[in-house]
Structure formats: structure tokens, C-alpha cells
Amino acid sequence: MRTMLDLRGVRVWPGFLSRPEQDTLLAGILSVMEAAPPFHPVTRWGKAMSVAMTSAGRFGWFSDRRGYRYEERHPSGQSWPPIPDAVLRVWEAVAPDARAPECCLINLYRSGARMGLHQDRDEADLSQPVVSISLGDEALFRVGALERGGSTESVWLRSGDVAVIGGSARLVHHGIDRVRDGSSDLIPGGGRINLTLRVVT
């Protein structure tokens, strides 16, 4: 039986994916990134995010001065590539009762990139979980409360770890404080790739 950590209701499975499984999953994601190159979304305040992003599935997450939302096409105008089968198998293993994911958001963290505390609340059905897959360099994952402010707890996520943000923890604030550069040799050119699978509609 796999070991599972409970971080304020967020379920984390360390080492969920073996190195061969990570290699297979990464190959599919690199193909997605080649077809739909990562870009740096702009916040509502006009600041480019430090994390580069792209997506797979019916929808892709997008941000500009108009706000946060899902779009059916990459900024280039083409449809998003399909979600790789290896990624879907992880969803089916950790969220077997959920609807099929409609978006796989791909976050690429190079040196110095981080993600401030935020909620995933742009989806229509918040009863469906968000599944997170970590690949590459280790990252310090911080979880707060449903309301902004107050105490937080953190854990280092390593390559192959999987987390599920769902149930009573579906809207907790969470983020990545920093990435430990060079802690993994998985990603070509270094860095971290985080996949978050979501049901959008």
C-alpha cells in the first residue's frame, strides 16, 4: 500500500511514479509542449508570470488583463493537443470517481520561478478535484486555509509525487515558494514541470 500524507486535506502520495513511469509521462508532455509551446501569461495587473505555461485537453488555462479563464485554443490559434494517456492513467488511479479531466495545465518552472498562494476556482464544478503531478526538480509546496492569511504548512514535492486537492480542501490556498535547482536530472535543460488536471465544465 502506498504511503499518503495529509496536508490540511490535500492528499500527497510521495513517489507515486517510478523513474520509468516518469520518463514515459515526460515524453508525452514534451510532445505536447512542442505542439503547443509554453508561454508566460500576464496577470490582471499586466505582470508576466515567472512560470511558463501551456495545456493539453479540450481547454487550456489562460490569463491576461481581462482576467483568469479557460480557452479552447492556444495563443497561436490552434487547438490544444490531447492529454497523453500516461497522464490520464494517473488521474484514474487517484480520482477514480471523478469525471474525466478536460484540461491538463502544464507549468514549467525554470530557475527562480515560483507560484504565489492562490485558489483554483475558475472551474464550474468545484466538487471535482484537481490532481497535481510533479516532475523534475524538488519544489516547496505550501498550503494555507480556505481564507487568505493565517498559518500555513509546507512539504517538499519530489519528482514522481502526486497530490489531490479535493473535497473539503478543494479551495485551500496553495503555492510553490521555491524550486531546488539541480535536484533532478529528469527535465532536459533542468527545472520542474508540474501538471494539474482539472474538470472545467
Closest CA to 172 of 155, 200, 150, 156: 150
Question: Any idea what the CATH number is for the domain that residue 22 is in?
Answer: 2.60.120.590
**Quick one: pLDDT at residue 156?**
96
**Quick one: pLDDT at residue 1?**
54
| Residue 198 marked as a ligand binder | yes
With beta carbons less than 8 A apart as the criterion, state whether 29 and 17 touch.
no
| Residue 173 marked as a ligand binder | no
| Residue 148 marked as a ligand binder | yes
The continuous run of DSSP H or E covering 109 comes out as: strand 103-109
Count structural domains, the chain: 1
| Residue 176 marked as a ligand binder | no
| Residue 118 marked as a ligand binder | yes
What domain range includes position 95? 5-198
| Residue 25 marked as a ligand binder | no
| Residue 68 marked as a ligand binder | yes
Question: pLDDT tens per residue, the chain (201 residues)?
Answer: 578 999 898 999 999 999 999 999 999 999 999 999 998 877 777 677 788 999 999 999 888 787 788 889 998 999 999 999 999 999 999 999 999 999 999 999 988 888 877 888 889 899 999 999 999 999 999 888 888 878 898 999 999 999 999 999 899 898 899 999 999 999 999 999 999 999 999
| Residue 180 marked as a ligand binder | no
